[in-house]
Amino acid sequence: MAEAVIRTASQIAEREGLIEVTEVNVRLGEIQQVDLEVFKFALSQLKTQELKKARFNIRRAEARFRCRACGCEWLFSADELDEEAREAVHFIPEAAHTFVRCPECGSRDFEFTSGRGVWIESIKGVRE
């Protein structure tokens, strides 16, 4: 994930003609249970030249699901899962459809309304 963020931020910087990136705003979804400190450390280790001075602002996005069958919305917590299911959802969030059911009607047909994956919201920097 960190590698993907650094690579993408570098590509955006190059495309936008930024000689130096000062800020990268990242959202980290909670479905995959990524350790924030480990993620920050990985980002710091992988920084490329144009990102050396960049501040990474990482905001968590809570994991929210909505049942397509009954409309129930709920906050997902991986703590409710056993170790095998937690690991599956960590690597493939869509594995939640295998291990999680709607708390109201029991359906596995639900959508992730928030908290899936990692994404870059914005980048600030200095142009040539």
Partner 1 sequence: MKIDPRISLIEERLKGIRRVIAVSSGKGGVGKSLVSSALALTLARRGLRTGLFDMDFTSPASHIILGVGDAQPEEADGIVPPVVHGLKYMSIIHYVHDRASPLRGVDLSNVVTELLAVTIWGKLDFLVIDMPPGISDVVLDVLRLIRKAEFLVVTTPSRLAFETVRKLIDLLLELGVPVLGVIENMKMGSSDRIRREVEGRGLNFWGEVPFDPRLEESIGDAGRLMRTEFGRAIERMAAEKLGIT
* Rounded Cα gap, residues 60 and 53, in angstroms: 22
**CB 72 to partner 1: min, Å:** 17
Least distance to partner 1, CB of residue 57, Å: 14
Nearest distance from residue 123's CB to partner 1, in Å? 8
> Of 92, 103, 106, 126, which lies in the binding site for partner 1, with binding defined by CB under 8 A?
92
The DSSP bridge pattern shows strands 64-67 and 73-75 to be: antiparallel
Nearer to partner 1, 72 or 95 (CB): 95
Which of 13, 28, 102, 116 forms a contact with partner 1 (CB under 8 A)?
116
